Structure 1
Amino acid sequence: MADRSLDASGLRCPMPLLKTKLELNSMSPGEQLEVLATDAGSNRDIPAYVAMSPHRLVSQSESNGVYRFMIECGG
């Protein structure tokens, strides 16, 4: 279960990624963030960012054009 949720639905690239970064910056290590996005670029951008950061992508899915990411905040 997520500690925080970010609904970036309807936002165009790069806003879902930028909002995800800002939200993670305000979180403590170990907390989980759920991100919902409808921009197809998010499906590539968010996992790529997480891979280069101290955070961890716990899960990623897509359903009816909505991309869902569960990210654990790293130290």
Structure 2
Amino acid sequence: MQQTNHSTQSNSTAISCPAFVSLKLADASQTKTVSKLLQTCNIELVDDASISIDIFVDGRNLACPQPLLKTKIKLQDLRTGAYLYMVATDSNSMHDIVAFAKQKKLNLLNWQGNNVYHFLIKT
């Protein structure tokens, strides 16, 4: 799989994403926000197809259950087959989002890096 590097310097927490995540968001303000958060991609996946993120949810520095609630609200706006990418720093998010995705039968890829929890959800 070919690695794509997304690297920026900012005061915010560094976030790593897999190379298959394409940051071509419809909303320019979201694209700018996501670009500031990304650092070198470091996850190897079998499928090297590119995925366009439809909605980004920043759940960093939010306590439980806020990351889950923000995710639920944003998922209501997504069409079937769309992707939501969410990041959180609350460790409870890992359990909450995984359980929610399982309950709703959503496709979920999740990983952790640098004390940040990442969730890629396909509706």
What is the TM-score of this pair, normalised by structure 2? 0.57
Match of 1:26 in 2: 77
Q: Which residue type is aligned with residue 112 of structure 2?
A: E
Of Structure 1 and Structure 2, the greater strand share is in 1
Deviating 4+ runs (over 3 angstroms): none
Percent identity over the alignment is: 38
Deviation at 1:3, TM superposition (A): 1.5
* Matched pairs, number: 72
Aligned to 2:62: 11
**2:114 aligns to what?**
64
CA–CA distance in 2 between the matches of 1:66 and 1:10?
Answer: 10
- Provide the residue aligned with 1:38 in structure 2: 89
CA-based RMSD of the aligned residues comes to 0.8
Higher relative contact order (CA 8 A, sep 6+): 1
Structure 2: where are the runs of 5+ without partners? 1-50
Name the counterpart of 1:49: 100
Q: What is the TM-score with the length of structure 1 in the denominator?
A: 0.91
Deviation of 1:48 (Å) = 0.3
Find the structure with the greater CA-based Rg. Answer: 2
